[in-house]
Structure 1
Amino acid sequence: MRARWAGPGRAAFLWLVVAASAMAAAPTVSLPELRSLLAAGRARLIDVRSREEVAEGTIPGALNIPMSELESALRMEPAAFRAAYSAEKPKLEEENLIFFCQTGKRGSQAMQLARSLGYRGARNYAGAYKEWFQKGGFHPPEPT
């Protein structure tokens, strides 16, 4: 006869297993994958840093929606979104809706928020702008 493990210890253990599985399955994008997706035109980037941070530089083609505005932006009607951000609102079914910030924390929060609102293809570029800049992923402007 096999003994069953019960009690609060079992619940805590199961919670840790679920949390670890969720973290392991977190949809993240690496720098090489991001470069490949961008080269193929298969990624939509959203920079969730503040406008002041973005003024210092961003990944080319990224749309800036500060984290403080993200939930309301993703809940907007398409016409209101277009008026506010001069861009088309992401569709719930977009495959590679990639969020990023400076170091990864806000990007991860943004991805989780978007997924909770039904954006199934929401992902996080975990290396964030810091990695993009440090590893030469940026394209400096041409001299004038």
Structure 2
Amino acid sequence: MALIARTLLRPARFSRQLSTAATGRQTTTTGMTTTMMMVMRSSANVGMRMAQLPVLTTRRTIVAQKIESVRFFQSGQVEVPPANEYQYEDIKKLTQNPNPDKILIDVREPAELAAEGYIPSAINIPYNSSPTALSLPEDEFELKFGFSKPNKDKELIFYCLGGVRCNYSQELAGQFGYARRANYLGSWEDWVAREKAAAAEKVNK
């Protein structure tokens, strides 16, 4: 009888062992699932915090972007004639005797003009903030700048502060269909220096 009882009890004990093992595996699986969910939730929170961080744009980045835009328009899509070069004496004559076929364009920003001044008769089409201005339709251009868009049969003479932005501007103008272009490479710095020298010479006479 005792042998029969032990034999009958074994399946029950074995069943309890299987149940305990299964429970352990379930607990382990549940723990792993919980851990994975915590990791995923943590990663999502980090991603949200990263998305909320402000984007830092440096001046170097802006300059690099603009150089890339110039390279895009210089990619050989349009072949244009080279630009002429103007000196102080040429610009001085133009300010004294305006020529309707020549348009002097200051490509500095409006704040620069307000703070430093500009060459007489020049119009302002800023390069940094509006590099593709001359590609705009005429009505959009006039609405944006307050004056008519230059015709493509005019000669556009560009200047800036020291001769860098004006060169980029004339290259873009060529890509936009303006064949007659020129640079005043001395630009505003040269103009101011020469005007001061001319004024001092008059005083000394």
- TM-score, normalised with respect to structure 2: 0.51
> Does residue 118 of structure 2 align to residue 58 of structure 1?
yes
Q: 1:31 touches 1:132 (CA, 8 Å); kept in 2?
A: yes
- Provide the secondary structure at the position in 1 that maps to 2:153: coil
1:123, 1:58 → 2: CA distance?
A: 18
User: What are structure 1's unaligned runs of at least 5 residues?
Assistant: 1-24, 138-144
Tell which deviates more after alignment, 74-83 or 32-41. 32-41
Tell which deviates more after alignment, 84-93 or 33-42. 33-42
> Does residue 186 of structure 2 align to residue 127 of structure 1?
yes
Give deviations 1:60-107, integer Å, cap 9, x for gaps: 22211211244431011112111111111011110x311110000111
> Does residue 124 of structure 2 align to residue 68 of structure 1?
no
Residue 39 of structure 1 aligns with which residue?
Answer: 96
Q: 1:103 touches 1:130 (CA, 8 Å); kept in 2?
A: yes
Residue 36 of structure 1 aligns to which amino acid in structure 2?
Answer: K
Structure 1 runs (4+) deviating above 3 angstroms are none
1:1-144 aligned within 5 A: 26-42=83-99, 43-55=102-114, 56-94=116-154, 96-136=155-195
User: What are structure 2's unaligned runs of at least 5 residues?
Assistant: 1-81, 197-205
- Cα separation, partners in 2 of 1:82 and 1:26, compared to 1, 3 Å: closer
- Provide the secondary structure at the position in 2 that maps to 1:41: coil
Residue 45 of structure 1 aligns to which amino acid in structure 2?
Answer: L
2:165, 2:84 → 1: CA distance?
A: 14
Q: 1:97 touches 1:122 (CA, 8 Å); kept in 2?
A: yes
- Cα separation, partners in 2 of 1:89 and 1:26, compared to 1, 3 Å: closer
The alignment-based identity, stated in percent, is 32
Q: 2:159 touches 2:187 (CA, 8 Å); kept in 1?
A: yes
Q: 2:160 touches 2:187 (CA, 8 Å); kept in 1?
A: yes
State the shift of 1:136 in Å: 0.8
Give deviations 1:21-42, integer Å, cap 9, x for gaps: xxxx641111111122332312
Number of residue equivalences: 112
Residue 51 of structure 1 aligns to which amino acid in structure 2?
Answer: P
1:120, 1:38 → 2: CA distance?
A: 22
2:148, 2:127 → 1: CA distance?
A: 18
- TM-score, normalised with respect to structure 1: 0.70
Which structure's residues are more often helix, by fraction?
A: 2
Higher RCO (CA < 8 A, seq sep 6+): 1
1:104, 1:80 → 2: CA distance?
A: 28
CA RMSD of aligned residues (A): 1.7
